[in-house]
Structure 1
Amino acid sequence: MPAANRVLVVGAGIAGTASATFLAEGGVEVDLVEKNAEVSALGSGITLQGNALRVFRQLGVLEQIEAHGYAFTTVGLRAPDPQGTLLVEMQDVRTGGDELPATVGMPRPELARILVERAIDAGANVHFGVEATQLEQHDDGVDVTFSDGSTARYDLVIGADGLHSQVRSQIGIDTKPEPTGMAIWRVFTPRPDSVTRTDLIYGGPSYIAGYCPTGENSLYAYIVETADAANFALSGPERVERMRALSEAYHGPWDDIRPFITPERGVNYTFFEAHVVDAPWNRGCVVIIGDAAHSCPPTLAQGAAQSLEDAAVLAELILGADGLDEGLWRSFTGRRVARARTVVEASVQLGQWLIDHDEKADVPGLMGRISALVTEPA
């Protein structure tokens, strides 16, 4: 018998839909609420490392992920020179196991659709356009008031509502994401034939210029530079102009991508942020996971994977325990907090080395340590 019979999951992102699917398939009655009116995600791409693919296999969506994404096993490093010279093509670490691709890139909206549909198929009751506005804890559960005026009682509430989590605030956790000093320009475009894997260019006028194929006919490209709040005030065409101007310093496949950076496609601009909530991540029978509990800049492409690991570990413990006692919460935080913190700190460190132009930075060593860590299941 599971530790909770009726669970509310707040947030239909990666962590929320994964949690809802695991628990519903385990016989738990699950309500999943999402404040947005429909399945939504930023219209760019996402990089999914092998340890994320390992959890997708557990969820039963790996085939769909591979069918709608673009798998690759190497990563390239190019020079910021007029030719975009390929310096090295390296085998990427298969952190999910030798039988899985090292990496899959895919469009974020497509991933969101797959995960929501999987949660529904598993038996979760999914409600869009609804928020949990009030949580009131009792010895035998949590009374929840929703934005539509309805109320319900749950054995457990899982806050998977992202970086700016309302559940985190509602249970009195003050830790919030903080800017790291970097920002990223992203554009989603057709994929030219010259792009078959992620290539990274360090240096030039920006810190990083890279791209990731997300399908046979799509990719997302990105440029990382110093964060500047003034860029949020730029109009759509001005953002496009800014990213095109930055891209002029980069060549090779960038010369094929640049013509697609147009006002019709738009450009997204976001600050890098990071945080880790100290243990415990629960307050009574309310727990936060995913970006609500920890976030990292995408320098190691581990954000989605760490959220999925949270969902898998939490569901495993709930389905295998008799009650929501302190032992369960100690097991959860013991398996997740230090691991997530190590990944976040490494992601921030990599960015700080770039900001500092640290010539002694051991980037390969850092990447190797994180790859070894996440290759072992959480």
Structure 2
Amino acid sequence: MSQPATKVIIAGCGIAGPVLAVFLLKQGYTPIIYERLESFTETGIGLCLQVNGLRILSKIPGLVESIEGGHLERMLFHSVLPEDEGLLADFTFPSQPKEKVGMALGVRRPAFHRRLIDMAIAHGIQVVWGHQVTGLEQHSDSVTVTFQNGKTDTASFVVGCDGIHSDTRACLFGKEPADFTGLVQIGGVSPKPSGYPFEKLTMMNVFGNGEHFITYSVDDTHNSWAVTLREPEAKETWRAMDQESQEDFKQHSPFASWGVGAGELIRNATKIVKYGLYDRPQLKSWHVGRVVLLGDAAHPTSPHLGQGANQAFEDIAYLTNLLEKYNPQAQQPSTDLLEKIFTEYEETRIPRTAALVAEARKQGDLRVASGVDACKQRNQIYHEMWGDEEVVKKRYAALLDHNEK
């Protein structure tokens, strides 16, 4: 008689949870996803899937081809600082056929998130809404999860994919406040302007004095955008600003008059959101016993490298490759075997993600440099960083290269 499939509880049905569930299912596990929210909600604005993340998503047949987005072809850097105005760099990504994994794909986050959930459900994976993790009781061969509504469930092991405000992380390591980076963003989605620089599917950075604007294509007709500022803390609710505040920002903020299409995007936005940017202290370990963390639950980051979701996908590749290596039949693993797998996973992933979190915060601070001299220095850095094609290729390869094994 065959043994029942090994059950795995995934806490969190955000960007990472559905992808992890499909990877586990294909290895022979039975994953079930529990999500604290009562139902799917359209939160977030845009998301940039980079080559390292796309490479992993492409292992799910048909997924990348089904994602609606803008295959980014070009990266531009402009300064609107009056004392140092103009184009800083213009870089064209190596061309690849769109049916293959390209360098970067801009997507609307809500639509991409919905696509991942639908994909998981289509694979037969159960998604249970309205279940917030409040307790974890570990046994010799299983973990029992308690939810806020009083219900419980038991599985062989648990993976916490429940984001920067992870309840799984709090259960393992105690509650801790998220670290406000000192920066806030105001962002939205707008119809794409005509003419330069939007003839191609473009990502563009625009620098002012203490201000940074980024925009990229999310399809052939629309762009996502965000302004980064150093301001008092704004909670990460992801709710739209009230209508009066949105109209005031569109008409009267200094960014509404910026050139190269930035002001036009702001003036024509259909919904504007304001939110703080956070990360968390680095953990020395991401697991306790049969419970392990992944993605933003383990290493939340500010968005200035565009690597948040992409690093979660790298986590998934590493973790599931190790499960396949050490437990190829997807049998009920012993605690000692899980300890070996989770420890090896951490030994590779913690140094890489810690370096990227630190670099993202550094880049955020650099982009909002204040004062004419500091802004000129910043502009020169980005000119040198992105103005030489060979330097860009080497830097990009170093950032995105990884060994999933």
- Tell me the TM-score range normalised by the shorter chain: 0.7 to 0.9
Corresponding residue of 1:228: 232
Are 1:242 and 2:249 matched, yes or no?
Answer: yes
Residue 226 of structure 1 aligns with an amino acid whose one-letter code is: R
Conserved 8 A contact 2:16-2:312: yes
Q: Aligned partners of 1:249 and 1:231: how far apart in 2?
A: 27
Report the equivalent of 1:377: 403
Aligned-partner Cα distance in 1 for 2:80–2:107: 26
Q: d(CA) in 1 for partners of 2:320 and 2:127?
A: 18
TM-score, scaled relative to structure 1: 0.88
For residues 152 and 50 of structure 1, the distance between their equivalents in structure 2, rounded to whole angstroms, comes to: 37
Partner in structure 2 of residue 268 of structure 1: 273
What is the aligned partner in structure 1 of residue 71 from structure 2?
Answer: 71
Q: Write the distance in 1 (CA, Å) between the matches of 2:37 and 2:236.
A: 22
Offset at residue 141 of structure 1 (A): 1.0
Of the candidates 350, 356, 374, which is equivalent to residue 363 of structure 2? 350
What is the count of residue pairs matched by the alignment? 369
- 1:253-295 Cα deviation digits (max 9, x unpaired): 124323313xxx3311111212353232001111111111112
Q: Report the Cα distance in structure 2 between the residues aligned to 1:302 and 1:376, rounded to whole angstroms.
A: 13
Whole-Å separation in 2 of the counterparts to 1:43 and 1:349: 23
C-alpha distance in structure 1 between counterparts of 2:95 and 2:154, whole Å: 43
Question: For the aligned residues, what is the CA RMSD?
Answer: 3.0
Describe the SS at the equivalent of 1:8. Answer: strand
Whether the 8 Å CA contact 1:77–1:88 is kept in 2: the answer is yes
CA distance in 2, matches of 1:298, 1:197: 18
- 1:254 is aligned to 262
- The structure whose Rg is larger is 2
Cα gap change, 1:116 to 1:148, in 2 (>3 Å) = same
Check the 8 A contact 2:6/2:29 in 1, yes or no: yes
Counterpart position of 2:299: 294
Residue 335 of structure 1 aligns with an amino acid whose one-letter code is T
Q: What is the DSSP-based 3-state SS (H/G/I as helix, E as strand, rest coil) of the residue aligned with 2:218?
A: strand
Q: Distance in 2 between matches of 1:294 and 1:85?
A: 36
Residue of 285, 301, 304 corresponding to 1:280: 285
Identify which of 347, 372, 392 aligns with 1:334.
347
Aligned to 1:216: 220
Q: Equivalents in 1 of 2:136, 2:158: separation in Å? A: 9
Q: Give the direction of change, closer, same or farther, for the CA distance of 1:348–1:81 in structure 2 (3 Å limit).
A: closer
Q: Unaligned stretches of 5+ in structure 1?
A: none
The answer to whether the Cα contact below 8 Å between 2:257 and 2:263 also exists between their aligned partners in 1 is no
For the Cα contact (< 8 Å) 1:189–1:219, is it kept in 2? yes
Which residue is equivalent to 1:320? Answer: 325
Give me the identity figure in percent. Answer: 24
Q: Relative to structure 2, which stretch is displaced further, 115-124 or 223-232?
A: 223-232
Partner amino acid, structure 1, of 2:74? T
2:153 aligned residue: 152
Which aligned pairs between 1:21-60 and structure 2 lie closer than 5 A? 21-60=22-61
Cα deviation for residue 351 of structure 1 reads 1.9
Distance (whole Å) between structure 1 residues aligned to residue 236 and residue 126 of structure 2: 37
Q: What amino acid is the match of 1:332? A: Y
Structure-2 separation of matches of 1:266 and 1:150: 38
Contact kept? 1:179, 1:271, Cα under 8 Å: yes
SS of 2:187 mapped into structure 1 = strand
Q: Is the 8 A contact 2:8 2:158 kept in 1?
A: yes
Residue 134 of structure 1 pairs with residue 135 of structure 2: yes
